[in-house]
Amino acid sequence: MDGRILEEHTEYVVYAIHKILDQYRESRDAREREGAVISGSLPKSVILVGHSMGGFVARAAIIHPHLRKLAVETILTLSTPHQSPPVALQPSLGHYFKRVNQEWRKRYEVQTTRTGRYVSDPLLSHVVVVSISGGYNDYQVRSKLESLEDIVPSTHGFMISSTGMRNVWLSMEHQAILWCNQLVVQVSHTLLSLIDSRTGQPFPETQKRLTVFSRMLRSGIPRTFNWMRQSHSSHQSTHATIKDIKNALGSQVFPSSHCPSNVHWNDDGLEKDLYIQTTTMTVLAMDGRRRWLDIQKLGSNGKSHFIFVTNLAPCFGVRLHLWPEKAKLTSDLAASKRVVEVTSKLVKIPSRPAPRQMEPGSQTEQAPPSAVLCLSPEEMQGFRFLTISVAPRPTISGRPPPAASMAVGQFFNPEDGERDLSAQLMLLSTYSQKEIFLKEDHPLAFNLSFSVSLGLLPVTLSLKTMGCGIKRSGLLAEEAGYMENSRLCKLRCFPPVALAWDPTSGIHMFPNLHGETIIVDSSPALWSSTQGSERTTVLLLVDPHCSYKMSIAVSETAAASRFLLLYSSQIVGFSVAVIFFALMRQAHAWDLDLPMPSMLTAVESNLRMPLSFLLLGIIPILFSLFVSLLMSQPLPPFASFITVSIICYFFANGSIIILIIVSQLIFYAAAIIHVFIKTRWQGWEGNFCLGFLHWFINLSSSFFSLKVVRVLRFNPLLVTALTAITLGCFVHPALGLFILLLSHAWCCHNALCSFLTASFRSHAQRKELYDCKDRGNEGSQEFEFKVEENSSSSPNPSKSFGETQLEIFHHRHGLLVLHLLAAMMFVPSLAAWLQRIGLGHSFPWFLDSALCIGVILHGIFNSKPESNSLFSFPAILGKKVRLDFVYLLAGYFSYLCGLGLEPYKVFYAMAAVGFLSFALRTLQSRREKGELHFGRKKHSHKH
């Protein structure tokens, strides 16, 4: 998580690539010198596979100026953040990501002259990039960050989630993606498939390599669930596309896609065929028979779509054909060009192990489906019949009997299975579950449309079997009857399956669904989100022979964890804005000569309804939408974007309030202990046993009397500035900020101790006054003298010494909270830097050091409350621009940085305030010197 370290790793990767290619050449030359016969050509490129930041380093190496041309043509990344770091806190890291991505966009553009004349193809036209995300179980990198959108064109790469990968179907943790067996095997086979067997080299054609990736990684499930309403021509499937042709009758049909030639079933005639008269067809055994379904008859009354689920193996267990008319001779299907086989359209879906039969001929429960097929009216147009052929049951001796076989097909109307779940209903489900009853003969496919993304509000979906057309026996008890009914229903109905689809992360599979939390890896309601991205569609496949009670409830714990995970960057940016707004409140109070409020009071004042909250919490959101309109960017969904942003703003205020309270408690506890020990020490000064301590203190005082030490003691800000800037520029920015924090903490402690001491003395004096009421006016005059003496120590005559010290504490406490958050944002970079101690030292990036200097200058030149009144610009619109307005602008900028998921840019606002403070303080010092010099000249002239 450090920009400098990533740059060093990039240079090492470039060196390693060259070393690998040179090693091949050196090995070949050595074998030639030994007289070996050499055939084939040397490898010209390597395939880079990177995990996490390693994948981004691989992309950064591609654009490195020292990389040889065509040395890398294929990149495969695992759980790699391509768009930005997971939490962009360090400025140089965010800048490095931005620079690399901009260079990639530029190199995928066609090279032209200034006049627009074509020069050459894009510089990266030979590079293919594939990003594999871990899904919702990856808590470190979200799928949205792993997307290649707007970086790599779709003709040269894509992103796929492990939940939708062929033969994987699992979501995995950030490190588990490296060793998950299903994924490792599939990726290994994919990389081997990239090699041309004739040359032993990767395929040079870009499209061919991309086709191999698509065929090996993507499943056949369409990436949108509008497939039940669309024709297959609009699907982005990896199966062989069916091209439209015209048959002899002029109707639109498709070319046949036959099963392998070695697949042959005995066909003794049509007397074994079954003619289905109902819209729902069921297969419970491999009986070697064929089912005929009349498309015109069964597909009437709006039920023009057909869906089919099965656990039979395509081609080897089941085959499906479309017929223009009823044939008399069907022994050779391939001989008829007018019969189209659609078996290849069966899409495999994950399924848990099917139940084993206890004994031959028995069946305990229905097997889960492993494949699904959906035919639209356009695909069945021009055909009259649909046949489903089931293979005969294989005879196996000496082995366990095969799993139970099943297949269910249905003509249905998609509108009957649509359920729209509004945001209000989802929120109410947190208190009471939403229940939906599915009666028998319901649609096989239910399309559940959630108005709020399940990546933000995961729901617990449970299905309970209520019946399957079997009457209960009156002799059985209620519980025993229910258990018997459930057993019989499992024998008849297949386990439900849920397929959740999200625009960002793709397909998520939930086989054998009875009760599970449905969640997708989506990041909705962001400034960069588009309309429709806040919805999630769930396709539920349930057996129409059974009735179910479906319960839906939002999982509160999962929703809370997902919210903090998705919007952590936004909350960090808002937190800095909250601190700036609180400092604005303090500076404004000082300008009006009012008591300076504490940070806690200032934050609470900014949350007051309606004016303060509208000005600081709502207007920045509306301004961001206005900016999107000006820049012609797609607008995010208004309701969800505004709602989530306001919730993040409240989270930021809450976290800052907790930080303020905890830090105040620590300071007050330390000050009380300090004052207590100091007062006790004064009472023990005459004790003989403490003579040694007095001697030690006198000895140490001689050290502090040295000239160098006295200069340092009387110029603490200078010492702090030099030390912090030196460490921030030559070692690490976080160390410089820690020195600044120590200075703030020491000043806060001293001011608070002075305030508590003055408060204790004032309380003691009041007590003495009450005790001396009977002594006359002499005692009261003495008391008044003491109060005046204490008050005269205050720089402001209208305020007591204690009040002045308390304001100093509030002021420095606000700066401490701001700079503490800045230092914490550099902690990940500092941790990475500490791990590399002893491996070589390099100076921090100039950007980090420069911004760190600005933050330090802000803490040094605004260390006193009086600096609030010294900070002013010339009049604009008749009013002077003071520090409170500058803090307001800095807060707005930080707010927008949070909305843009770029919290590292808040350092620009901090540094800008620091450099402005330094410039204005320098100008003021010169002005004061000039006035003093002019006054002396005038005085000498009079004499």
Lowest-confidence segment of 177-186, 507-516, 735-744, 782-791 by average pLDDT: 782-791
What is the mean pLDDT of the segment spanning 373-388? Answer: 90
Report how far residue 351's alpha carbon sits from residue 470's, in angstroms, rounded to the nearest whole number: 27
Residue 874: pLDDT band with limits 50, 70, 90: low
pLDDT (0 to 100) of residue 35: 74
Q: Who's near 80: CB < 8 A, 6+ residues apart?
A: 50, 51, 52, 53, 54, 55, 56, 131, 141, 146
Q: Structure tokens of 409?
A: 């097909």
Quick check: 780 and 769 in contact, CB under 8 A? yes
Cα 934 to its chain centre, rounded Å, is 62
Report how far residue 718's alpha carbon sits from residue 863's, in angstroms, rounded to the nearest whole number: 12
Q: Which residue has the higher pLDDT, 925 or 438?
A: 438
Q: Is the pLDDT of residue 840 over 60?
A: yes
DSSP one-letter code for 925: H
pLDDT (0 to 100) of residue 294: 92
Quick check: 254 and 375 in contact, CB under 8 A? no
Beta bridge partners of 409: 281, 308
Q: Who's near 120: CB < 8 A, 6+ residues apart?
A: 110, 111
Q: Who's near 876: CB < 8 A, 6+ residues apart?
A: none
Q: Structure tokens of 48?
A: 């880079």
Note the pLDDT tens digit of each residue in 38-49. Answer: 777 788 899 999
Note the pLDDT tens digit of each residue in 270-301. Answer: 557 889 899 999 888 888 888 999 999 998 88
**What stretch of H or E contains 415?**
none
* Structure-token match 């090279």, residue found: 111
The interaxial angle of helices 556-566 and 568-591, nearest 10 deg, is 70
pLDDT (0 to 100) of residue 925: 75
Note the pLDDT tens digit of each residue in 638-690. Answer: 888 999 999 999 999 999 999 999 999 999 999 999 888 877 766 555 554 45
pLDDT (0 to 100) of residue 932: 55
Q: Who's near 122: CB < 8 A, 6+ residues apart?
A: 107, 108, 109, 110, 111
Q: What is the pairing mode between strands 418-421 and 459-467? A: unpaired
Note the pLDDT tens digit of each residue in 82-99. Answer: 999 998 899 999 999 999
In the chain, the amino acid numbered 837 is I
What is the mean pLDDT of the segment spanning 862-891? Answer: 74
Q: Is the pLDDT of residue 824 over 90?
A: yes
347 φ/ψ angles, rounded to the nearest 5 degrees? -100, 125
pLDDT (0 to 100) of residue 58: 95
- Give the burial class of 589: count Cβ atoms within 10 A of its Cβ; 0-12 exposed, 13-18 middle, 19 or more buried: buried
Q: Who's near 859: CB < 8 A, 6+ residues apart?
A: 740, 743, 744, 815, 819, 914
Q: Is the pLDDT of residue 788 over 50?
A: no
pLDDT (0 to 100) of residue 267: 56
pLDDT (0 to 100) of residue 30: 85
pLDDT (0 to 100) of residue 234: 35
What is the mean pLDDT of the segment spanning 548-573? Answer: 91
Mean pLDDT (the chain) is 81
DSSP 473-515: PTTS-HHHHHHHHHHHHHHHSPPPEEEEEETTTEEEEE-S-SE
Q: SS3 for 830-884, per residue?
A: HHHHHHCCCCCCCCCCHHHHHHHHHHHHHHHHCCCCCHHHHCEEEEECCEEEEHH
Q: What is the pTM of this model?
A: 0.84
Residue 254: pLDDT band with limits 50, 70, 90: very low
In the chain, the amino acid numbered 27 is S
Q: Is the pLDDT of residue 73 over 90?
A: yes
In the chain, the amino acid numbered 418 is E
What is the mean pLDDT of the segment spanning 500-505? Answer: 85
pLDDT (0 to 100) of residue 240: 34
Q: Is the pLDDT of residue 332 over 60?
A: no
Q: Is the pLDDT of residue 178 over 60?
A: yes
Quick check: 406 and 365 in contact, CB under 8 A? no
* Alpha helices, H only, 390-536: 423-428, 478-492
* Ramachandran bin of 201, using left for φ above 0, alpha for ψ from -120 to 50, beta for the remaining angles: beta
Burial call 564-581: b when 16+ CB within 10 Å, e when fewer: ebbbebbbbbbbbbbbbb
The interaxial angle of helices 846-861 and 801-825, nearest 10 deg, is 170
- 3-state SS class at 174: coil
Cis peptide before 610 (omega within 30 of 0): yes
pLDDT (0 to 100) of residue 351: 78
Quick check: 370 and 349 in contact, CB under 8 A? yes
Report how far residue 337's alpha carbon sits from residue 99's, in angstroms, rounded to the nearest whole number: 57
Q: Is the pLDDT of residue 477 over 50?
A: no
* Alpha helices, H only, 684-800: 691-704, 707-714, 716-730, 733-771, 777-791
Q: Is the pLDDT of residue 711 over 70?
A: no
Quick check: 214 and 208 in contact, CB under 8 A? no
Q: Is the pLDDT of residue 313 over 70?
A: yes
- 3-state SS class at 407: strand
Q: Is the pLDDT of residue 305 over 70?
A: yes
Q: Is the pLDDT of residue 100 over 90?
A: yes
Residue 78: pLDDT band with limits 50, 70, 90: very high
Quick check: 293 and 373 in contact, CB under 8 A? no
Q: Is the pLDDT of residue 703 over 70?
A: no
- Give the burial class of 925: count Cβ atoms within 10 A of its Cβ; 0-12 exposed, 13-18 middle, 19 or more buried: exposed
Residue 248: pLDDT band with limits 50, 70, 90: very low
Residue 476: pLDDT band with limits 50, 70, 90: very low
pLDDT (0 to 100) of residue 483: 60
Q: Smallest Cα–Cα separation from 581: which of 616, 619, 626, 627?
A: 616
